[in-house]
Each structure stands twice: as C-alpha cells, then as structure tokens.
Amino acid sequence: MSLPEHDTIVAVSTPPGQGGIGIIRLSGSRSFELARRVFVRGGKKTKPSRGLQKDEDLQPRRLYYGYIVDLEGKEIDEVLVSFMPAPHTYTREDVVEINAHGGPVPLAKILKLLLQLGARLAEAGEFTKRAFIHGRIDLVQAESVLSLVNARSERGLYSSLQGLKGSLSREMEKMAGEIFRLRALIEAQADFPLEDVAGEDYQEIWKRVEKIKDQAVLLQRRSAQGRILQEGLKTVIAGKPNVGKSSLYNYLLNEDRAIVTPVPGTTRDLLTDYVNLKGIPLCLMDTAGLRAGGDAVEKIGMDYARRAIADADLILFMLDLSSGIDREDLWIYSSLPEVSRQKVLILGNKLDLGDKVAPAEVKKLFPGNKLIKISVVTGEGMETLEEEIVKIVNAGEVGGGESALVLSARQAGLLEEIVGSLEDALEALAAGLPLDLVAVDLENAYSKLQNLLGKEIPADLLEEIFRNFCIGK
Ligand SMILES: Nc1nc2c(ncn2[C@@H]2O[C@H](COP(=O)(O)OP(=O)(O)O)[C@@H](O)[C@H]2O)c(=O)[nH]1
Ligand SMILES: [Mg+2]
C-alpha cells in the first residue's frame, strides 16, 4: 500500500446535514494529543479550564462532557468526547470520538481545527480500510460495512450485519479449507498413473468437489435474495391502459406521484420509486399501459414497460374486474416472460364497480395462478395484496429470508467464477481426466476464495473497493 497508514486521520462520521448530533472521529497515534488540545472539560460547577492537565483526568472509554475551543480559546460547541486506546478499537489505533451538537457549522469548525493541528482528512472508507489492514476485519466484513451504510431496509441491514459478524467469512474459510485438503489428497494421488488411482478415491474426490460446489451455489442463491433486500424487489405494475395501474402506484407510495385520468394512455413514462412494504423494500415501477397502436411517445413508453417487465422480480399484472377479462388482457398475460426467478400476481381491480370475472374463468385462463381482487379506490383487498407480496418474499419465491446475503458486485462476480471452476473440476472428473488437471481447477477456485476474503488481493483493487465507502466510515 502506498499511502501512509500511520498518520492521524479525521472525518465527520455522521451523514451530512442537520443532525441531532454529529460525530467527529479521529484515528491514529496523535488522536489523543490532538483532542486534548481542543477539548476543555466542563461540569455544572467547574468553570471550563483549558486542556486536560493530568493523565488521570482521562480514562479510556468514558464519555467526558465539555467544550471544544478554538486556538484562541473560544468555545465552538458543547460536546461529549471519548478516548479509546489501541488496540481494542474499530481501526486498532487510538481513536477519539467527539459527539458534537451537530449542525454543519460547528462540525465544520471542529474538523477544520483538527486539520489545522495536523490531522489529515480521512479518505472515503479509510477507517474501515485501517481496520482491514490491521487485521481486525477481513474484506468480506469490510464490504459488509459498505452494504450496511447503503442498506435500504431493516432486513437488508440484518443481512449486512451477518456479513459484518463474519458468518459469511467463516463459511468461505470453511470452503477454502475443504478445497485445500482436497488438493492435498489429490497431490498424494497425482504421482501415480491414473489407472492406479483407486476407484473409491476417485469417487471420494468427486463427491467432495460436488459438495463444495453445492455450497457455493447456495451462497449464490442467498446473495440473490440479499440483492433484493438491499436494492429492493423490482416490482412492475403492468396491464392494459386504464385498469388502474397508476392509481395502485400512488396508493402504495402513499402520494400522488403518477397522473391518474380516465383517459387511456395517460402514463407514457416509466415511473420508479422506493416503498417500504412491511419491512420489504420495493423498487416499484408504474408503466405505460400495453395496447396495440398508440402514438410515437406512447410506443416508446410501452417499450420501456416491456423492458421493465423483462427485468422485474415481481410483476403485478392488473385487469379491470368491472369490465371483465378481454382479449387485450390475455394478449398481455401471454406476452409476460416465463422466467422462473420471476413471479406474477394477477390483480383484478375496480371491485367497487362490480365483478364480471367468475372463479372458473380464472382457473381456465390463468392455470396455477390466483386472482387477487382489489379496489384501489375503496382500499378493499389491499391488505391481502400486501400480505401476499410479503409471503412471496418470505417463502423465498423471489428472494428474501433470514439467511439472505448481501454481496458486493465484486464478491458476486468472484463467487460466480468459483462456481465455474468447481464445475470445470466436476467435468474433468466426469471425463475421467487425470487428477492433476482437476487440481488446476481446484487451485483456481481456491485462489478466488482467498481473493474474496481479501487475502491475495492486489493493492490497487483494494483502493478501488474502499473508495466506494463514504468519508467517515
Ligand atoms: N371505481 C374505481 N375506479 C378506479 C379504480 N382504480 C382506478 N380507477 C379509475 O380508473 C381510471 C384509470 O386509472 P389509472 O390509474 O390512470 O389507470 P392506468 O391507465 O392503468 O394507469 C381513473 O379514472 C381512476 O380514477 C378503482 O379501484 N375503482
Ligand atoms: Mg397510468
């Protein structure tokens, strides 16, 4: 690493803006000294006295009440300060946290003061990077910090926390260990010509590679669920014009975002927003109604709609109960992609205006799918709809579940390569190839696992990863 790792860094660790409190964090060998120079203890009775005089004044991991004063001794803010000596800190260095009253002005002043005294402004992710460099956390955990910062929902937060606690790392370490042992076993055999390798040994190796591959695939599946928790379940409302798609969009968002009119073809654009539905984040999209014809603008809108549908996790296919199911509805329904990772819910809207759809008809037209009857105007059936969405996610039909993992794009990419290498190994075994060729594939999988855990990772890539963090983390 080219950067000096041992200078003292400082940053505002809380999000920008008008917060209740703001935290300024210092890390490095000079943090105590710098903090002492600007911190003045204060109590109800004692008048502020400049600086901390004696070491006894200051015990680790205690909150001290007082003031930050500038170089002229003028008070900047009332604060609580804690001093945390290395190595039991986030970065494994001496850390000071100053809890200020927040508001951008005092925070900026305190920060400037510490910079004047010789601290350096931390780069994005530098605190976490130091934690990693000093071996407090591995890379998987470091990336979980990033996910945590970005988590959109409580459950996304939970799965990032799992990564941070190291459960994901432990599983990967276990896989790496197993591959390592397998390679040792193969090496022991590799000196013999293939026909001398005992059939049982060959079988045994095969079985064990298969087991590791299954584990990797499971991680992959769980990470797909994690993506949903983090980025939101891509939910697209689709159907012919005028069935109430925009009305549903507004209802779920709880605001009038989309224009609703009785004129078919009103929505021409793709509208997207995030909704938190009982703890599940939806990335909700309202689309232009699909129909034959329409002007140029509407056609572009329909094009957007089709693309959004192809990319969705969940499709809310809407029709109008009061006018019944017609050819247009069936045309749209039959054009929905049949992809197993996607789920379609059929919504019959405008229940308040009547219901011309018989249960037998639903069974015949949409085999294996049920119809949820709603009225966006009266709110009837909406609770059922929301519960159904939660159920689908919880059942893992489109993702979710407690065991979901949040992986960064880098991690997901590596995991895919690991699965690929393990599949290659299995193919080589199936083809009865010599074991040293199998060993090459295992070696590949092994080094990628190490890469995932940040053990054999090039420095520039490391810089890149930490650059994605925000400053102060
Ligand atoms: N009575 C009734 N009217 C509805 C309902 N949902 C939507 N509408 C009306 O149907 C018309 C079309 O709605 P809109 O949301 O723009 O449909 P879209 O074209 O599918 O986006 C509007 O006049 C809405 O007020 C409903 O549940 N009941
Ligand atoms: Mg609309």
Ligand nearest to the CA of 373: 1
164, 148 contact by CB (below 8 A):
yes
Q: Which of 136, 164, 190 is the last residue of a domain?
A: 136
- Ligand 1 atom nearest to CA at 286: 21
Residues 254 and 362 in one domain: yes
Residues 6+ apart with CB under 8 A from 98: 23, 24, 25, 26, 35, 39, 68, 79, 80, 81, 110
pLDDT at 313: 85
Over the chain (473 residues), the average pLDDT of each successive run of 10 is 64 66 89 93 56 59 89 89 90 92 78 90 82 78 66 56 66 88 78 61 88 88 64 87 94 79 76 78 87 81 88 92 95 83 90 93 88 96 92 65 57 87 93 86 91 70 64 62
pLDDT at 226: 62
Reference 10, options 105, 137, 130, 102; nearest CA is: 130
Quick one: pLDDT at residue 444?
92
CA dist., res. 224 & res. 221, Å (int): 5
Does residue 97 belong to any structural domain of this protein?
Answer: yes
**Structural domain count of the chain:** 3
Whether residue 321 sits in one domain with residue 283: yes
Using DSSP's 3-state secondary structure scheme, residue 111 falls into helix
Domain contains 143 = no
How remote is the CA of residue 238 from the centroid of ligand 2, in Å?
9
Does residue 324 form part of some domain? yes
H or E stretch at 94:
none
How distant, in Å, are the alpha carbons of 44, 205, 250, 285 from that of 242?
Answer: 67, 60, 14, 16
Atom of ligand 1 nearest to the CA of 376: 27
359 and 415 both lie in a single domain: no
**Considering 394, 414, 430, which residue would you say is the last residue of a domain?**
394
Residues with CB under 5 A from ligand 2 (ion): 245-246, 267
Q: What six digits make up the tokens of 101?
A: 């009253």
Q: Is 216 exposed, middle or buried (0-12, 13-18, 19+ CB in 10 A)?
A: buried
Specify the pTM: 0.51
Ligand nearest to the CA of 240: 1
CA dist., res. 164 & res. 143, Å (int): 8
**88, 112, 136: which is the final residue of a domain?**
136
Domain assignment present for 46: yes
Which structural domain, as residue segments, surrounds residue 331? 232-394
In this prediction, residue 183 carries a pLDDT of: 84
Q: How far is the CA of 232 from the centre of ligand 1 (A)?
A: 26
- 131-163 burial code (b ≥16 CB/10 A, e <16): bbbbebbbbbbbbbbbbbbbbebebbbbbbebb
Looking at residue 86, which CATH number applies to its domain?
Answer: 3.30.1360.120
Ligand 1 neighbours (beta carbon < 6 A): 241-247, 260-262, 266-267, 289, 349-350, 352-353, 375-377
Closest C-alpha to ligand 1, atom 16: 260
Q: Is residue 142 part of a domain?
A: no
Closest CA to 395 of 158, 151, 281, 225: 225
> 390 and 315: one domain?
yes
Phi then psi dihedrals of residue 15, to 5 deg: -60, 150
| Phi and psi, residue 223, nearest 5° | -75, -30
Q: What is the pLDDT of residue 411?
A: 77
Q: What's the confidence (pLDDT) of residue 464?
A: 65
Question: Are residues 114 and 244 both part of a single domain?
Answer: no
Same domain, 224 and 236: no
Q: Look at residue 43 in the predicted model and tell me its pLDDT.
A: 62
CA angle in degrees (0–180, nearest 5) for 123-129-130 = 100
Give one DSSP letter per residue of 326-388, joined into a string. -HHHHHHHHHS---TT-EEEEEEE-GGG-----HHHHHHHSTT--EEE--TTT-TTHHHHHHH
Closest C-alpha to 406, from 227, 168, 138: 227
Residue 12: which residues within 8 A CB-CB, separation 6 or more? Answer: 22, 23, 24, 25, 107, 111, 471, 472
CATH of the domain at 306: 3.40.50.300
CATH number at residue 187: 1.20.120.430
* Residues 128/469, Cβ–Cβ less than 8 Å: yes
Together in a domain, 293 and 379: yes
Sign of CA dihedral 342, 345, 346, 348: negative
> Does residue 351 share a domain with residue 237?
yes
On whether both 158 and 194 belong to a single domain, the answer is yes
Q: Is residue 364 domain-shared with residue 306, that is, in the same domain? A: yes
Ligand 1 atom closest to 353 (CA): 1
Which pLDDT value is given to residue 212? Answer: 94
**Best probe residue, ligand 1, of 260, 347, 356 (max atoms within 8 Å of C-beta):** 260
Point out the ligand nearest to the CA of residue 322: 1
Note whether residue 473 is domain-resident: no
Atom of ligand 1 nearest to the CA of 262: 23
**Closest ligand to Cα 263:** 1
Q: Are residues 381 and 256 in the same domain?
A: yes
Position 160 in a domain: yes
CA 376 – ligand 1 centroid, Å: 8
Long-range contacts of 389-394 (CB under 8 A, 24+ apart): 389/233, 389/235, 389/277, 389/280, 389/282, 389/314, 389/345, 390/277, 390/278, 390/280, 392/314, 392/343, 392/345, 393/228, 393/233, 393/280
Atom of ligand 1 nearest to the CA of 250: 15
The answer to whether residue 325 is domain-embedded is yes
Domain identity same for 386 and 441: no
